[in-house]
Chains A and B, each alone.
Chain A
Amino acid sequence: MRVLIVDDEPPARKKLAEFLRRERDVEISGEAANGMQAAELIDELQPDVVFLDVQMPGMNGFEVLETIHGRIPFVVFVTAYDQYAVKAFEVHAVDYLLKPFDRNRLQACLSRVRDQIGRDSGRDIQARMEKLIAEATGRAYLNRVMVKNKGRVIFLQVRDIDWIKALSNYVELHAGAQTYLLRDTMSSLEARLDPAAFARVHRSVIVNRDRIRELQPWSHNDYLLIMKDGTEIRMSRRYHKNL
């Protein structure tokens, strides 16, 4: 299995890497020293397993996973001390390692991981993780998304998105003068956006309620939404109740 190590302390990464290197079936595909790097590398390397430190400055382990929502890999949380997090791991049956650990502990953990990866279709783990993340971040809805723009990785605050348009396997996020592509589907994204802030107005459009300037009647009981930046968006009848 391909493994990503995430920890902001070099000695902690080193120790974990050293132990993992001795395992035959483990290949270390990368190491990240902070949350943003972690989100980037998870997206880029698509590892099978991530050893994720919970406490990191800037963006903690849960926030990393929140950002890459929808494509969460198998995660083993690593923490030094965190009563609440450990309780949550137990509740949601998620694997974790307490620092410091010895080689036996890590091996026991790895064998559990091998077991689960082999057995689970991933869907079950995904559902458990989503619940855990919502609980740990205290947010039921998406807060920021990681997008790429001209080879650069950007962490976009969801509240900065003006409107969203569907494009086959992608969605197009419009934020100010910028547009970003995100690999996601309309319905899965809609489910993770706060309905008080965002509304689906068309089969292929979601708008930020704050950015609507006016609503003009259009033909066949349809409406035309005029956004604050002047963009015009057609709203279809069946989504009227959303506004």
Chain B
Amino acid sequence: MAMNRILFWPLWAGFWTIIGLVNFGSALIFMRRIQPGIPAWQPLVWELSSVYVIGLLLVPLVVYATRHLEFRRDRWKRILVAHFALTVPFSLLHTSGMVAIRKAVYWMAGLSYDYSSGNLAGAVLYEFYKDILSYWMIVLIAIGFQYYNRYRERDRQLAEAQLQNLRQQLNPHFLFNTLNMISSKMYEDVAQADAMIARLSDLLRMTLRTSRQPEVPLRTDLEALDLYLEIMKARFGDAIQVDLNVDAQAHEALAPSLILQPLVENAFRHGVNGQAASGRIRIRASVSDHTLTLRVSDNGPGFQDSREAILNRGFGLSNTAARLQQLYGNQHRFDLNNSAGGGAEVVIRIPYRVA
């Protein structure tokens, strides 16, 4: 990237030199026909002075202006007028810039340069008509690049979001602690260790499927949760009690895949205040008014920080918030409450749909 930046301006100047040389060829042929003795350097100076002023001075200015005059549905007329107004200073700068260069070069050669042959207005108008075309070419190319960059940026962000999503769900903490539990079980009960490897594998398979299949029937998600809880039970014993209460209607409802596990994980992590013996997690799923409501609560100390602070921390809950936003836009609610009896409660409300 640094190399590109260093190389950019020499390459850019080279590009405009080539354009200038091409123009020079045609100008020389044309001039030799009407003024046979003209030295070749004179048309060369004309053409190069013109393209350098455009390429090195005006193109950066127009690109800058285009970036600030973005066409949007609500103001495209004003932007169009602004661009037309800008063609005037564009052309004046172009003409005066190239004339100044030509006069300077001629002066160095001991000659004098006459630009307008006595008709300045006519000469300026002549350049102006040509410059309208140059100006709009630059604007269109600049807009093209803007869209290209934005498209690439969006692609990059999407890929990053997917990666993050996967990383969040494949919580490495959970994974390695589970492997540690299995490695401990192996010494006492090989069959149980084996069973745990199977559970973990099922869970990993479900996690990997999530990126392809954003929504699944809640029934499927509950199966994944069951695997998760079984593993947690093996890790922590029966210290934590989990109550599951799911309406019959809710089983077939579509929900984001693996939506419950991070919430339960969060309850495990924060809801149990060091005295694991009394931990209790409640999970409830219900349907009413075309809405599926998922509720996960614990009996820990409750949320200590503001919703913003919690969601900015980048743990499981912020990932959940982002996924819900992505899937349902403003058709969902995601609430973090402290319940009356103490403890944290996370409530998700999404439209009730069946596969």
The judgment on whether A and B are partners is yes
Binding site for B on A (CB under 8 A): 8-12, 14-15, 18, 33-36, 55-59, 80-82, 98-100, 102
Q: Are B276 and A34 in touch, CB under 8 angstroms?
A: yes
Whole-angstrom distance between the Cβ of B313 and the nearest chain A Cβ = 13
Interface centre among B173, B177, B185 (most CB of A within 10 A): B177
Check B173 against A81 for contact (C-beta < 8 Å).
yes
CB neighbours of B181 from chain A (8 A): 9, 11-12
A-B pairs with beta carbons under 8 Å apart, 29 shown: A9-B180, A10-B235, A11-B234, A11-B235, A12-B181, A12-B235, A15-B183, A15-B184, A15-B187, A18-B187, A55-B173, A56-B274, A57-B268, A57-B269, A57-B271, A57-B274, A58-B272, A58-B275, A80-B172, A80-B176, A80-B177, A80-B180, A81-B175, A82-B173, A99-B179, A100-B180, A100-B183, A100-B184, A102-B183
B312 within 8 A of A: no
Complex contacts, B175 vs chain A, CB 8 Å = 80-81
Please classify the interface of chain B as helix (H, G, I), strand (E, B), loop, or mixed, using the class held by over half of its residues.
helix
Provide the residues of chain B in CB contact with A80, threshold 8 Å: 172-173, 175-177, 180
A8 and B236 form a contact (CB under 8 A): yes
Q: Quick check: is B270 within 8 A (CB to CB) of the other chain?
A: yes
Across the interface, which residues of A come within 8 angstroms of B272, CB to CB? Answer: 57-58
Which of B173, B185, B274 touches A11 (beta carbons < 8 Å)? Answer: B185
Which listed residue, B176, B182, B270, B271, touches A81 by the CB 8 Å rule? B176
Q: Which residues of B contact A102 (CB under 8 A)?
A: 183
A9-B177, A15-B183 known; 12 new pairs, CB 8 Å cut-off, are A9-B180, A9-B235, A11-B180, A11-B181, A12-B180, A14-B188, A36-B274, A57-B269, A80-B173, A80-B180, A99-B177, A102-B183
Given contacts A12-B184, A14-B184, contact A57 B173 (CB under 8 A): no
Q: Which of A14, A58, A81, A100 contacts B273 (CB 8 A)?
A: A58
The reply to whether B184 and A57 contact each other, CB–CB distance below 8 Å, is no
Contact A81 B172 (CB under 8 A): yes
Assess A12 versus B274: contact at CB under 8 Å? Given A57-B269, A80-B172, A81-B172: no
Contacts of A98 in B (CB 8 A): 176
